[in-house]
């Protein structure tokens, strides 16, 4: 029986029709697959090269596929870090007429890794802490938009390097739901699910000898709750002070900006006799530094990368004695005389190892290190040459790192 495919997509790619939809996803031939790491999933997931990009294809029930597709579209419109949906394909049939599952297609998030692939590499001892911090920030951002995840875990998250930290992205929304506002009970349940799932996932890593045996997995699960609660209270909590301390309004906004959040509106009220003032952020949005860098330079980078690049921009402004000039003009000169030449100086065959912003961040670190070691201000050109030879050349390229089949790593079933 011939199959009658139905493709639901905002901008369907005709090349989708060339894929072997008549074959169950787990049997797809290697010549259409991309060698990228797959996390642990309850569904069959494959990565496929299509029209010069990589897509993720997940076999899933038709109703759930359409629902997750719409949820991911909504999260993308809200600017929440999540994978970008491409479409849903239904009507699949095998040559013998057997009905095959619908599939959800999403874009692969470049330079991202599932948590198990991260632990298969040689990482710093505080990697777990940085992943937990990234997940806490993601949960806060989701909850601020009214999104209830329902199955928070490291497995349902992708991580990208962001300067010395990680940025977390939601990759699985099938259990989620979008509300106008979440209740405290919904947030608390999401947080408890996250705590239990993370403890189990870390136990898996420990059993597979990918984690130190003396790691306190229960304490790490508790650390997520503490980090989330601290960040949530900072972003949404009310603050009260005397009327003579109005400078604290600006200080509160600056504190939120340091955390990477913009303040859209402040609710400021005074008591009856006007002696105390109460402020509370009403609308907060993440990405303060990345939006500022985008406005000044057009660079679209992660939040901590943006913070680091802005610091270098400020240093450039001071070094060239241009504090009084228009910020946009100075930023343009920094981009064309500092950032772009440094990135272009890296040999072309090595530029795919890291995102340009991450490479520039590491380059700044390397320049500071060798300058301290040599007790002199090492020029940028010399620093680039040293970084390429002593750091970048020995790093695995994207294909080597992303070719790990994480689903085959040692694993046991956690609690």
For the stretch 139-196, pLDDT in tens is 998 998 899 999 999 889 988 887 777 889 999 998 999 998 999 999 999 999 999 9
Statement: residue 399 has pLDDT above 60: no
CATH 3.30.200.20 residue window(s) in the chain: 6-110
What pLDDT was estimated at residue 22?
A: 92
113-236 falls under which CATH superfamily? Transferase(Phosphotransferase) domain 1 (1.10.510.10)
Domain range 6-110, its CATH number among 3.30.200.20, 3.90.550.10, 3.90.1200.10, 3.30.110.30: 3.30.200.20
CATH 1.10.510.10 residue window(s) in the chain: 113-236
What pLDDT was estimated at residue 395?
A: 75
Of 47 and 401, the structure prediction assigns the larger pLDDT to: 47
Of 3 and 254, the structure prediction assigns the larger pLDDT to: 254
What pLDDT was estimated at residue 184?
A: 94
Most confident of 26-35, 239-248, 339-348: 339-348
Statement: residue 389 has pLDDT above 80: yes
Statement: residue 402 has pLDDT above 60: no
What pLDDT was estimated at residue 58?
A: 93
What pLDDT was estimated at residue 124?
A: 55
For the stretch 69-122, pLDDT in tens is 999 999 998 888 899 999 999 999 988 888 999 999 999 888 787 887 777 654
HEC states along the chain?
A: CCCCCEEECCCCCHHHHHCCCCCCHHHCCHHHECCCCCCCCCCCEEEEEECCEEEEEEEECHHHHHHHHHHHHHHHHCCCCECCEEEEEECCECCCCCECCEEEEEECCCCEECHHHHHCCCCCCCHHHHHHHHHHHHHHHHHHCCEECCCCCCCCEEEEEECCEEEEEECCCCCCEECCCCCHHHHHHHHHHHHHHHHHHHHHHHHCCCCCCCCCHHHHHHHHHHHHHHHHHHHHCCEEEEHHHCHHHHHHHHHHHHCCEEEEEEEEEECCCCCEEEEEEEEEEECHHHHHHHHHHCCCCCHHHHHHHHHHHHHHHHHCCCCCCCHHHHHHHHHHHHHHHHHHCCCHHHHHHCCHHHHHHHHHHHHHHHHHHHCCCCCHHHHHHHHHHHHHCCCCCHHHHHCCCHHHCCCCCCC
Of 125 and 323, the structure prediction assigns the larger pLDDT to: 323
pTM higher than 0.85 for the full model?
A: no
| Lowest mean pLDDT across 36-50, 247-261, 276-290 | 276-290
């Amino acid at each position: 029986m011939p199959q009658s495919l139905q493709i639901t997509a905002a901008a369907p790619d005709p090349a989708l029709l060339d894929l072997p939809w008549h074959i169950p996803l787990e049997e797809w031939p290697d010549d259409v697959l991309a060698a990228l790491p797959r996390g642990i999933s309850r569904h069959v997931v494959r990565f496929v090269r299509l029209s010069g990009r990589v897509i993720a294809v997940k076999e899933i029930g038709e109703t759930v596929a359409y629902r997750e597709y719409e949820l991911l579209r909504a999260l993308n419109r809200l600017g929440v870090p999540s994978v970008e949906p491409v479409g849903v394909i239904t009507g699949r049939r095998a040559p013998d007429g057997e009905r095959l599952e619908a599939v959800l297609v999403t874009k692969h998030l470049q330079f991202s890794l599932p948590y198990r692939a991260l632990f298969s590499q040689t990482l710093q001892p505080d990697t777990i802490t940085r992943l937990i911090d990234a997940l806490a920030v993601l949960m806060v951002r989701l909850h601020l938009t009214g999104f209830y995840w329902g199955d928070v875990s490291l497995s349902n998250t992708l991580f990208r390097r962001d300067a010395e930290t990680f940025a977390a992205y939601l990759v699985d929304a099938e259990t989620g739901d979008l509300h106008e506002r979440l209740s405290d009970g919904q947030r608390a349940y999401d947080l408890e699910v996250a705590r239990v799932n993370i403890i189990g996932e870390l136990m898996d890593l420990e059993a597979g000898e990918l984690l130190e045996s003396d790691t306190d997995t229960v304490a790490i699960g508790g650390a997520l709750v503490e980090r989330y609660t601290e960040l949530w209270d900072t972003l949404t909590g009310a603050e009260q002070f005397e009327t003579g301390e109005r400078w604290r309004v600006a200080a509160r906004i600056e504190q939120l900006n340091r955390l990477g959040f913009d303040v859209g509106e402040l609710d400021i009220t005074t008591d009856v006799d006007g002696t105390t003032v109460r402020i509370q952020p009403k609308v907060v949005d993440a990405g303060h530094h990345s939006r500022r860098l985008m406005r000044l330079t057009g660079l679209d980078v992660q939040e901590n990368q943006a913070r680091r690049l802005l610091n270098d921009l400020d240093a450039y402004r001071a070094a060239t004695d241009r504090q009084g000039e228009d910020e946009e003009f100075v930023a343009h000169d920094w981009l064309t005389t500092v950032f772009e030449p440094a990135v272009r100086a890296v040999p072309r065959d090595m530029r795919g190892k890291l995102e340009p912003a991450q490479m520039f961040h590491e380059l700044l670190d390397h320049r500071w290190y060798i300058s301290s070691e040599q007790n002199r201000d090492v020029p940028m050109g010399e620093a680039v040459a040293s970084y390429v030879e002593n750091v970048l050349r020995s790093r695995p390229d994207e294909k080597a790192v992303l070719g790990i089949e994480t689903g085959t790593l040692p694993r046991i079933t956690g609690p």
